[in-house]
């Protein structure tokens, strides 16, 4: 259809589906949070580099990472944590040491490419009010 000049509008909450679109508009609370191609969004709208943190227990690790100044954002993704940091290579050893000192078993910490889901979480977390962040 695109080759015939037809535009198709898709609305979805599933970012893996949005990966197939040519251009995206991410909405948060009825307002445009970002626009661009999937690649543009992933390369320009992350506030740092992304780390995959496989560890247990997740809740304890997440609470610890959310208080670390060098961690811009951290959220649970499936059975691991995605943490946004300014310099992944510099932060990884200290992050592992902190978690292990606090009784968290760390299987691995490694840099990964951001997904659209990561971008959306990063964009919307930055816009939360103090009341929402406390909840």
What number is the average pLDDT over the span 108-135?
74
Provide the 3-class DSSP secondary structure of residue 126. helix
What residues does each domain of the chain span?
Answer: 2-41, 47-113
Q: Does pLDDT of 122 surpass 90?
A: no
Q: Does pLDDT of 9 surpass 90?
A: no
Q: Does pLDDT of 61 surpass 50?
A: yes
What number is the average pLDDT over the span 109-130?
80
Question: CA of 73: how far to CAs of 50, 68, 127, in Å?
Answer: 9, 9, 12
Q: What is the pLDDT of residue 126?
A: 59
Q: What is the pLDDT of residue 46?
A: 80
Minimal CA–CA distance to 82: which of 98, 58, 57, 105?
A: 58
Q: What is the pLDDT of residue 44?
A: 86
What number is the average pLDDT over the span 93-121?
94
Q: What is the pLDDT of residue 3?
A: 81
Question: Among 4-18, 48-62, 91-105, 119-133, which stretch is predicted with the lowest mean pLDDT?
Answer: 119-133
Tokens of 105: 């078993």
| The architecture CATH gives domain 47-113 | 2-Layer Sandwich (3.30)
Q: What is the pLDDT of residue 127?
A: 56
């Amino acid at each position: 259809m695109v080759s015939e000049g037809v535009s198709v509008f898709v609305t979805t909450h599933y970012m893996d589906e949005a990966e197939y679109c040519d251009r995206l508009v991410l909405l948060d609370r009825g307002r445009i949070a970002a626009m661009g191609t999937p690649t543009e969004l992933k390369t320009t709208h992350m506030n740092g580099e992304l780390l995959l943190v496989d560890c247990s227990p997740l809740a304890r690790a997440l609470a610890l990472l959310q208080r670390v100044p060098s961690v811009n954002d951290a959220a649970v993704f499936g059975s691991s944590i995605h943490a946004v940091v300014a310099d992944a290579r510099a932060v990884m050893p200290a992050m592992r040491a902190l978690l292990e000192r606090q009784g968290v078993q760390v299987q691995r910490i490694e840099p990964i490419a951001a997904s659209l889901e990561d971008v959306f979480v990063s964009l919307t977390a930055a816009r939360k009010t103090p009341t929402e962040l406390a909840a």
